[in-house]
Amino acid sequence: MGEAFRALIRWLAALHAPLGHWAPLATSGLFAASGLSHSAFLRMIAYGSALALAILIAADVARPFIDAQSFPDRPVYRRAVLTLPMLAVRLLLTGILGGIYTFLVFIGVGLWAPFILLPFLFVICSLIAWRNLDLWYEQGAEFEEELAEAEHRQHSAPPNVLGQHNH
């Protein structure tokens, strides 16, 4: 049973990959749309889609806990040094994103969730926001590396000798 559960989480986490870091925002938006919709049919579609995406996000978050090699450690030279000012900015962005996600999800859940669950919902949404910021940072670092490699290739390319005239 344990291995089947791990295989299910791996499969669900792989389904999450195409959405990447936009999945939490899409999920929160769908929850809000379900709460604001006056049509029962549209509410059911939006809520069902939001729940499906929430399950995929949960599987993506759970994957490193069941599969340590699923996210290999980055080499030491690629790890970012998290300074105090950077940590403060990250915590601020996490709080903002977590607050947005919480607000949108709370609109969708509505009367089903009493206000006492709001702090719990905020903590979950903030953890997802922290992970999202981590994904965005890694994507930015990879983009910087690709730009540096492209610039290096451009400067190390041989000169164009076809257009030169012999004197």
Q: What is the pLDDT of residue 4?
A: 85
Nearest 5 degrees, angle CA 27-CA 57-CA 69? 160
Residue with token string 């986490």: 13
Q: How confident is the model at residue 110 (pLDDT cuts 50, 70, 90)?
A: confident
Q: Tokens for 147, please give them.
A: 């730009």
pTM for this entry: 0.71
Comparing 4-8, 33-37, 107-111, 124-128, the range with the smallest average pLDDT is 107-111
Q: What is the pLDDT of residue 157?
A: 59
Instruction: Count CB atoms within 10 A of the CB of residue 112.
Output: 9
Q: Which long-range contacts (CB under 8 A, 24 or more apart) does 77-86 make?
A: 78/141, 80/137, 80/141
- For the chain, the residue count is 167
Q: What is the pLDDT of residue 72?
A: 46
Alpha-carbon distance values, 135 to 111, 141, 154, 166 (Å): 33, 10, 28, 53
